[in-house]
């Protein structure tokens, strides 16, 4: 029998779980089938790989040798497969831009600028509330660039494998109906909204936890939080059902005002991501970065409440 990658995965699964029973469950096999497979592997390699008794399975010296090699070979093969898929997906006879985003304010502006600067290049977009999903598409080479947001100083997804550039740093504003009793104030204390219901968009980052923590520091627990799409958040605020949480660059909307919170207890980073070894992204990284910065600057200019506030708060705004 020739040794195959699946055999190395079997050996690693037994070592990781410490038990043939647990390894069989993890691999989706019946235990007798796994035991038979292990015997064939051990025969091929010349000796037992595990000492087994009622307490579990422990690698023999030969097993340790095989595991040492498996821990090198399996990740290397996995990386090779990812690299091949990414290269195949990124290779194209014509220039193109495949963008991913999390429903932020910059994606439309970036598409507009790319379409103007590269009129013959196809521009496609994929949107998702999940930054993990967007990052995985970058890894697979199914996207060239991604526009996402990250709460505070939290790390972006797969930060050790993807290149993330900070485009701008914004405070989180609150969105109020224009007839709200506090709508005329230039800044709001978070505690002044303790009795309100809240609305924001969903996500798989830490924003919900950070908001709850900020409220606790302000001395209250949110009455309720509606997580829904942007259109529904706007509607809930317009009808007085909730106060919204939004990026400072949220565009002007009839019937609504956006206001900063005193002390900026919540912040948001706009990030542009790409795979460092993507041929398509490498070729256009500088241009896409410049267009994204321009889209961000335009989003700031469109928000009168934010543009004026920025002058007195220089730690926010465009990244250096």
CATH of the domain at 210: 3.40.190.290
Measured torsion, CA atoms of residues 177, 178, 181, 186, in degrees rounded to the nearest 10 = 110
Is the confidence at residue 1, as pLDDT, over 90? no
Across 257-261, average pLDDT = 95
User: Do residue 272 and residue 236 come from a single domain?
Assistant: yes
User: Do residue 108 and residue 255 come from a single domain?
Assistant: yes
User: Do residue 151 and residue 233 come from a single domain?
Assistant: yes
Point out the domain boundary residue: 73, 90, 107: 90
- pLDDT-based confidence at residue 97 (cuts at 50, 70, 90): very high
CB 180 within 8 A of CB 154: no
Report if pTM > 0.85.
Answer: no
User: Do residue 100 and residue 77 come from a single domain?
Assistant: no
CB 261 within 8 A of CB 218: no
User: Do residue 169 and residue 277 come from a single domain?
Assistant: yes
CB 278 within 8 A of CB 135: no
Tell me what pLDDT residue 93 has. 42
Across 308-315, average pLDDT = 90
Residues making up the chain, counted from first to last = 320
- pLDDT-based confidence at residue 89 (cuts at 50, 70, 90): low
User: Do residue 20 and residue 101 come from a single domain?
Assistant: no
Tell me what pLDDT residue 90 has. 55
CB 288 within 8 A of CB 97: yes
Point out the domain boundary residue: 90, 109, 131: 90
Strands (DSSP E) contained in 69-162 are 97-101, 123-127, 145-151
Q: For the chain, what is the domain count? A: 2
Averaged confidence pLDDT in the chain: 90
User: Do residue 227 and residue 111 come from a single domain?
Assistant: yes
Q: State the DSSP code for 250.
A: P
Q: Which of 63-77, 105-119, 200-214, 235-249 has the lowest mean pLDDT?
A: 63-77
Q: What is the CATH number of the domain that holds 82?
A: 1.10.10.10
User: Do residue 127 and residue 37 come from a single domain?
Assistant: no
User: Do residue 213 and residue 294 come from a single domain?
Assistant: yes
User: Do residue 274 and residue 317 come from a single domain?
Assistant: yes
User: Do residue 78 and residue 202 come from a single domain?
Assistant: no
Find the domain containing 288 and state its range.
Answer: 93-320
Point out the domain boundary residue: 46, 61, 90: 90
User: Do residue 107 and residue 86 come from a single domain?
Assistant: no
């Amino acid at each position: 029998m020739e040794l195959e990658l699946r055999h190395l995965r079997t050996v690693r699964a037994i070592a990781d779980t410490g038990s043939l029973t647990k390894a069989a469950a993890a691999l989706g096999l019946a235990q007798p089938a796994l035991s038979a497979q292990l015997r064939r592997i051990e025969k091929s390699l010349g000796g037992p790989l595990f000492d087994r008794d009622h307490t579990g399975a422990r690698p023999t010296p030969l097993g340790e040798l095989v595991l040492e090699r498996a821990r090198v070979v399996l990740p290397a093969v996995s990386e090779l497969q990812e690299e091949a898929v990414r290269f195949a997906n990124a290779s194209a006879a014509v220039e193109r831009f495949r963008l991913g985003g999390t429903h932020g304010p910059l994606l439309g502006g970036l598409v507009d600028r790319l379409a103007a600067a590269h009129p013959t290049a196809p521009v496609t977009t994929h949107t998702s509330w999940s930054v993990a999903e967007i990052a995985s598409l970058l890894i697979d080479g199914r996207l060239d660039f991604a526009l996402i947001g990250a709460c505070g100083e939290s790390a972006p997804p797969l930060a050790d494998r993807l290149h993330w550039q900070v485009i701008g740093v914004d405070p989180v504003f609150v969105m109020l109906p224009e007839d709200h009793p506090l709508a005329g104030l230039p800044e709001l204390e978070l505690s002044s909204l303790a009795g309100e219901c809240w609305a924001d968009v969903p996500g798989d980052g830490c924003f919900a936890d950070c908001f709850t923590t900020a409220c606790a520091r302000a001395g209250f627990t949110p009455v309720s939080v509606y997580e829904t799409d942007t259109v529904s958040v706007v509607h809930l605020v317009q009808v007085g059902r909730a106060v919204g949480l939004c990026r400072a660059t949220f565009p002007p909307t009839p019937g609504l005002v956006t206001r900063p919170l005193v002390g900026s207890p919540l912040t948001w980073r706009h990030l542009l991501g790409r795979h460092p070894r993507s041929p398509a992204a490498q070729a256009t990284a500088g241009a896409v970065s410049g267009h994204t910065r321009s889209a961000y600057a335009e989003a700031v200019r469109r928000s009168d409440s934010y543009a004026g506030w920025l002058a007195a708060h220089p730690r926010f705004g465009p990244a250096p």
